[in-house]
Amino acid sequence: MFSIGALSQHTGVKVPTIRYYEQMGLMSAPERTEGNQRRYGRAERERLGFIKHARDLGFSIGAICSLIELNNHPNRSCAEASEIAASQLVYVREKIASLTRLERELARISDGCSGNGIADKCYVLASLADHARCETDH
């Protein structure tokens, strides 16, 4: 059995986050000692590892709930899990495209700076003050 602190150390998930996951229903309420301290077993550690990995991949709490629900029914088709993962992939690709546009715009603004004094109309500051100077919508 693990205390919440030990569970946190084993998984790299902070204690307040573990409590939050319990409140959100991602993890079931743990057993308690006579002193009302939480105690977690191997199954809870594995569940928390699953949640952490899913969060690291950017899955929302709602998507993780759905994946956990699917995992609790091994006789169901994994097509729904595949759909959830595919949806996350679309989101990540859209985010990458957005970040790429942002990178290009920041590079353009940065490269436009002459390095002269601020009084000489700094290109960076002028660009930040006027969105119309941007080449793309970011």
Q: What is the pLDDT of residue 119?
A: 63
Q: What is the pLDDT of residue 121?
A: 75
- Residue written as token pair 């990458």: 96
**Is-contact 54 64, C-beta < 8 A?**
yes
Q: pLDDT tens for residues 60-69?
A: 999 999 999 9
**Is-contact 65 52, C-beta < 8 A?**
no
Taking residue 70's Cβ as centre, other Cβ atoms within 10 Å add up to: 16
Provide DSSP, 83-106. HHHHHHHHHHHHHHHHHHHHHHHH
Reply yes or no on whether the pLDDT at 11 is more than 80. yes
CATH number of 4-76: 1.10.1660.10
Domain boundaries, the chain: 4-76, 88-133
Reply yes or no on whether the pLDDT at 57 is more than 80. yes
**Is-contact 40 30, C-beta < 8 A?**
yes
Q: What is the pLDDT of residue 118?
A: 65
Reply yes or no on whether the pLDDT at 134 is more than 90. no
Q: pLDDT tens for residues 111-132?
A: 887 767 666 678 888 888 888 8
Average pLDDT over residues 26-44: 89
CA angle 58, 63, 69 (to 5 degrees): 135
More confident residue, 97 or 130: 97
Nearest alpha-carbon partner for 30 in 13, 56, 48, 14: 48
